Structure 1
Amino acid sequence: MYSKTLLSLALATASLLASGLSDNAKNAGLLPIPSSETELLKLIDNPKNPITKEKIELGKKLYFDPRLSKSGFISCNSCHNLSEGGDDGISAAVGHKWASNPHHLNSPTVYNSVFFSSQFWDGRDPDLEKQAQGPIQAHPEMAATKEHVVATVTSIPAYVNEFKFAYGDDVKISFEKVTDTIAIFERTLVTPSAYDDYLNGKDDAMTPLQKAGLKTFIDKGCATCHNGVALGGEMNAFNITGTYIHQNVGDFKGNENGMVKVPTLRNITQTAPYFHNGKVWNLQEAIVEMGRIQVGEKISDKEASSIEEFLKALDGRKPVLSIPMLPASTSTTPKPDLN
């Protein structure tokens, strides 16, 4: 009887501690992906261009279609590979004519980007619809023109029919309509994780080590910048209490106010290398460096290991995707241009 009473008390204490941790996380600004599909749709939908199954499927094809690029070789998926972390796994993005990003900027993940309040490292665009227009036209990336994209899509009868199916017979296939449709697909690339399950009330979703890591994460001030549903995605000052060790690699210094977009921590174990210029490959090293330059904390190896354990709980359940079968080109489809 005595041992059962002790066990009951221990379980009750553990439950109270877990409940307190969840409350502390929410008080620190950490928010889960909603478990309710209705609530999730409220977060990811675009009232100006509501999500539908038809738009999602069409957007997925366009996302994977390299013919939207000048070379006919690069698609959105080239730099934002959905088979892994939603990025390209290299320090600086590589685009048209195998040119690396002239500012030595790393490709951020597209997974959960719908939760970002700012797009691009300098935060110049507010949403995915606007963001999708940039890489297609950027010469170091896909190097296409608006005219090339429209000519490509309208030269393929299957695409014309799919646009009508998604938007109605009177749809005008413009560059903006194409990128808006890609953005609709990207809005669905959400990866709920054990962390979300925990904050949504499932106490055993995270391991004891992950819970301890969450506490360390909050105590060390990491949630000051990495908060909200995305655990990032907003603009913040950089090099607050120190100077990033690789600051001189590339010429990026942030926006006009020196602000830099905070990268999401979701699926962070799958998105190395880290920082805007992709110069840190080890996650614990990145944690220690962030503590030094952002919150003025000397994070020990033990604390970094603890935080890393928590970050593993952010590895999400990715949408089940099949590679789309793209419609055939026609005699009027623009030919690949490698120049």
Structure 2
Amino acid sequence: MKKYKPEDLIHNYANDTASEEERIIVESWHIYELKESKYRPSQEHITIVHNRTWEKLSLHMHHRENTLVNKKLWVGVAAAAAILLISSIITYSYLKPASLSSPVLMTQNDVMAAENKATLTLNNGERISLNQSNKDLVAIQGGINIRKSNGLLIYEQQKSTTATIALNKLETPRGGKYQVLLPDGTKVWLNSASILTYPNTFIGKDRIVSLLGEAYFEVAKHKEKVFKVVSGTQTIEVLGTHFNVKSYTDENETQTTLAEGKVKISKGLKHIILKPGQAAFTSENSKSIKIKKTDLEKDLAWKNNEFIFRGDDIMSIMREVARWYNVEVTYEGNFNKDGYMGTISRSKNISEVLKMLQLTGKINYKIEGRRITLMK
């Protein structure tokens, strides 16, 4: 058999350019064969190999044929499981230091993912818990019907009535999420620990809302009415487009990511026009507006119910995790700026997210109620 370099094998496999023989070698690799080489695969490449073996196992496990009588299927499952075991051994050996003990995981205290939870505050101060109310019609306010349906709050103007403007506030807690369809047809996805303030109807030439936290906007097009989002240190102006705003108080910057169309971002006397695939950053400590090419898939992952980490440091990752699962995070040991890689559904319990981080980042953890301790 031809002699292959380990670095070439993993590079080709990760980039989908491997031959059938190369693919078989990578998926059947024994740990001692890899240790004979001085080559150490990157975190990203190991994650790709590990994830693909999971996909192979999942494919077999969800086969439509009867698993109790189909002998070939069980052979396939066993083979996929063996591949996964080998991949896990490789991953474990190179990403987990020998000095760490096994993870202390209290499964009875595992934390579930965020749910559709939010509180609506009306202009008269009345607070309505949307996750506790069983009524579809939440409130009637100034000729506007406010309804809810499967995690979506909907504003509808009553027929033959003139709406009276009133200010509303939609607030998601840590461990909560919600959506709102505004009276102009604009749809907003609200991430955990976020507050959106807006009128129950838009009157005049501007449509103005304010945001604290994170939200994704699909703004309905109205040529005569500019849509404005006031968040953190900036104001965003659009006529109709799709964009994401991240403006948490525990983050250093306010980030606006444009997915479609164009937006104008202003800070003080300065302003810029953002193009799709770009992100703008503003902060209290700077008068400038920074623009960078961005990773749209990663920036919008939360809206698509995913965690995507691509070289992120553990502190920024755990701020996001803490908001989503409503947990407190503490650290034991020296955590540097190492980058962590991985993709996982946000619907998973927190233990699954921590396991992924452990495989790709040399950490250990324990779960005690809603307290997560990371150890190095």
TM range (shorter): under 0.3
Q: Which has the higher contact order (CA 8 A, sep 6+)?
A: 1
Q: Which has the higher helix share?
A: 1
Structure number with greater Rg is 2
* Structure 1 length-normalised TM: 0.25
